[in-house]
Amino acid sequence: MKMTRYSEPQILAILRQAEGGVPVAELCREHGMSNASFYKWRAKYGGMDASMVSQMKSMEEENRRLKRMYACVFRSIRPPIPTTCAHLFRSIRPPVMRCREAAFFSYQV
């Protein structure tokens, strides 16, 4: 994942300056960023405070974890092979569970 140059509190402070009436071009020049970055941040963080940003981050992390879990479970389930084509699939081995989450789900059933 790409590292950002600005932290969330810094981004929120820059957005508050813009809401206070400082021109966007001046803010971008002062902080060394592009107009596109400013408008992207405004679309993502506009109207948020620090608690809402931390809540959004925790929800993103939970979503990432659930997506990874779903992918592991989905990979462990293999569709049945039709009997007419079984001779084509003899060399294919069954999938190996590589994810801790998939192993976890296999015991929960």
Q: What percent of the chain has pLDDT over 70?
A: 68
> How many structural domains are present in the chain?
2
Range of the domain at 108: 51-109
More confident residue, 64 or 106: 64
- pLDDT at residue 23, rounded to an integer: 94
Judged against a pLDDT cut of 90, whether residue 92 lies above it is answered with no
Are residues 19 and 65 part of one domain?
no
Average pLDDT of the residues in 86-96:
58
Instruction: List Cα–Cα distances, 76 to 11, 13, 63, 64, 68, in angstroms.
Output: 41, 46, 20, 19, 13
Q: How far apart are CA 109 and CA 98, in angstroms?
A: 18
Are residues 59 and 109 part of one domain?
yes
Handedness of CA 55, 61, 64, 68 (dihedral sign): negative
Residue 6: DSSP 8-state: S
